[in-house]
Structure 1
């Protein structure tokens, strides 16, 4: 497997957003890494140097700069199926934090219970880059996830994968959260069939979507992603969340973003203060149990 260069550290001090976020706002998609915690042998890059304590301090600086009171730490594949870096960060941050874990197909009830006890409220599946959890594994696990109050988070490409996923999403007994605007083909527009199917799921309350990581889809100032973001918010703001994707791992061809610029791009795409409050405060509070 080809290794990428070691990841660059994120912007030390993000630009403060041009408008304040509402009280109780949540950055619903960040990652935690640490070089004093076990890394996965199959990883494609090494994180920037730093211990768990140093990375936690960097995250707190990031959250303070954006005005975020709450955060959801999504376990990074760089640490494989060992969730200790995420659960330790959640413990360090206290009740303002929740975790999304990474488990293998067939994960035991004891493993799920331990994660739930540690503040992990969901598990993640990566349909784009692969990983250690499959969609078949999610379907098998879903009733047990529901029993532990957990949900499924998924990275997929709407234009490539939604046709095969949509029917299952409607019948799973747990919420399903799609990352990164559904990672659509922006050039195909919001009426592309896969993205239209995602919009329908969101409109019907059958799925959530994170309005995160437009920098993976287009260059700054990210206005090319605004139409897709606005279409999802118009479908149902009560099923939309926002996340910075800090500290911007596995960039590939994407340019490292400034988190403040990402939040400003969200403001541009969502001018309604009511919709912003629902996306930043109400929806994450309901989904993650803040």
Structure 2
């Protein structure tokens, strides 16, 4: 087993301008623990990102609850995710696992007891399960009340709309639709997300604008208009996530963690922020 270097990312810094309400939730992080290796098909792990590391970031940002998402690096090996949930504890942590169409029901029962509440669908390089297997996975997780977390390049949403409309459980459109590169807020492909949100079982996650933005932070002026339109349209089904530890970008483009939270000051009103950070995660994840 290859030795993975310890974390060198900045964990501390100035606090965000946004004063978070009690129960504030980070709905998207990844953790990389000692003793777990990258699996074939996924990217390599450049350095560790442990529960202890994240707790420092969590304290800096004023967050209390967290949703740990299975990284692409681990593919179908959810071991580090389950260990992370055990360390964090059921009162403050939930998980999104990678579920294959042939995952035994007994495994799903065990994962549910550990705090898993969703299955990851990734139609971008490195994803373990794509939309081709999405409906088979949905049939497995639906009895547990889990949701799907779906990520794709929003520029090609027309390729996915029909399959998304067939989903019967709740599902998250991840990373603000992840339009790469961004489109105008009035683009028909943003209209398609609005239509999906209006069907009642789709959620939007504000997360990692830096991965799609060509203008960069702290304002992300090319991604912000999309986010503002979608948040205003469905604040009762919008979530926020930091995407820590930001493994999708090189260190030279590493974003400031407080900046990732402070985008909500411009993209969501104070009543909406209460929903996004506290009420919506509590409802979807059962906090």
Segments of 5+ residues of structure 1 without an aligned counterpart are 1-5
In structure 2, the residue matched to 1:106 is: 102
**Root mean square deviation, CA, Å:** 2.1
Quick check: 1:70–1:96 contact (8 Å CA) kept in 2?
Answer: yes
1:172 corresponds to 2:171: no
Deviation at 1:114, TM superposition (A): 2.0
Quick check: 2:99–2:137 contact (8 Å CA) kept in 1?
Answer: no
Higher share in helix: 1
> Which SS does the other structure have where 1:199 is aligned?
helix
- TM-score, normalised on structure 1? 0.90
In structure 1, the residue matched to 2:177 is: 182
Deviation at 1:252, TM superposition (A): 5.2
Deviation at 1:7, TM superposition (A): 10
Match of 1:264 among 262, 265, 270: 262
Counting only pairs closer than 5 Å after superposition, residues 1-290 of structure 1 correspond to structure 2 as: 9-49=8-48, 55-94=50-89, 95-160=91-156, 162-185=157-180, 187-218=182-213, 219-221=216-218, 222-251=220-249, 255-270=253-268, 272-290=269-287
Deviation at 1:14, TM superposition (A): 4.1
> Which SS does the other structure have where 1:73 is aligned?
strand
Provide closer, same or farther for how the CA distance between residues 76 and 68 of structure 1 changes in structure 2, counting only shifts above 3 A: same
Deviation at 1:187, TM superposition (A): 4.3
Deviation at 1:96, TM superposition (A): 0.1
- TM-score, normalised on structure 2? 0.90
Quick check: 1:158–1:182 contact (8 Å CA) kept in 2?
Answer: yes
Deviation at 1:17, TM superposition (A): 0.9
- How many matched pairs? 280
